[in-house]
Chain A
Amino acid sequence: GESVGLHLPTLSVQEGDNSIINCAYSNSASDYFIWYKQESGKGPQFIIDIRSNMDKRQGQRVTVLLNKTVKHLSLQIAATQPGDSAVYFCAEKTQAGTALIFGKGTTLSVSS
């Protein structure tokens, strides 16, 4: 079964606001995490990843935070734009595992 989940199924924000999407995982052996963005009718696209030896990683307008103590992962999107509207998935993998395990996803809606 799934070991990764998200706190909220939907998140609505105004254009220009910062968005925070949360994810909790249950497998303490997971050492690699990825955030994916999925637009309607398309396959998921890689956003950013982080390994368990880090607690923060920044990309362009996105930041991933990892708190291994409470097994929590978050994706922060700065200055959210309408084009950011999509479903966001977190995924985890253990060093011994072959496949990524995905959570259910959070739908981000950005209004102008």
Chain B
Amino acid sequence: SQTIHQWPATLVQPVGSPLSLECTVEGTSNPNLYWYRQAAGRGLQLLFYSVGIGQISSEVPQNLSASRPQDRQFILSSKKLLLSDSGFYLCAWSSPGELFFGEGSRLTVL
């Protein structure tokens, strides 16, 4: 069966520090992969999606970036975090249609 792993689960970082969130999927090949962000009390905002290795589409302009170095690995990064980057980050993969989410990474930028 397919599983999705996301880490770290929680992270507290100072403003201006770098960020790296990692997501891996097991049990499937060539999945579509996604990064969503959920600010407190808000809905899920699509940040990036990838249909294959090295293929990244950005949905919103920001100081975040994403990379897909391997088929089942998706990384969310920042060189310098802003206070507004705080939130709950969710990685997901999709079969045709349905989206399967990881457990999320809660980022607090101080």
Quick one: given A93-B97, A99-B34, are A43 and B102 in contact (CB under 8 Å)?
Answer: yes
Asked whether any CB of chain A lies closer than 8 Å to the CB of B64, the reply is no
CB distance from B3 to the nearest CB of A (A): 12
CB distance from B44 to the nearest CB of A (A): 4
Contacts of A45 in B (CB 8 A): 101
Q: Does A42 lie within 8 Å of B104, measured CB to CB?
A: yes
Asked whether any CB of chain A lies closer than 8 Å to the CB of B106, the reply is yes
Q: Does A2 lie within 8 Å of B98, measured CB to CB?
A: no
How does the 8 Å CB contact mask read for A38-67 relative to B, with 1 for contact and 0 for none?
000111111001000000000000000000
Q: Scan residues 89-111 of chain A and give those whose CB is less than 8 A from a CB of chain B.
A: 89, 91, 93, 98-105
Asked whether any CB of chain A lies closer than 8 Å to the CB of B17, the reply is no
Asked whether any CB of chain A lies closer than 8 Å to the CB of B103, the reply is yes
Mind listing 14 A-B residue pairs with CB under 8 Å?
Answer: A41-B106, A42-B104, A43-B92, A43-B104, A46-B100, A49-B98, A98-B49, A100-B46, A100-B99, A101-B46, A102-B36, A102-B44, A102-B45, A104-B42
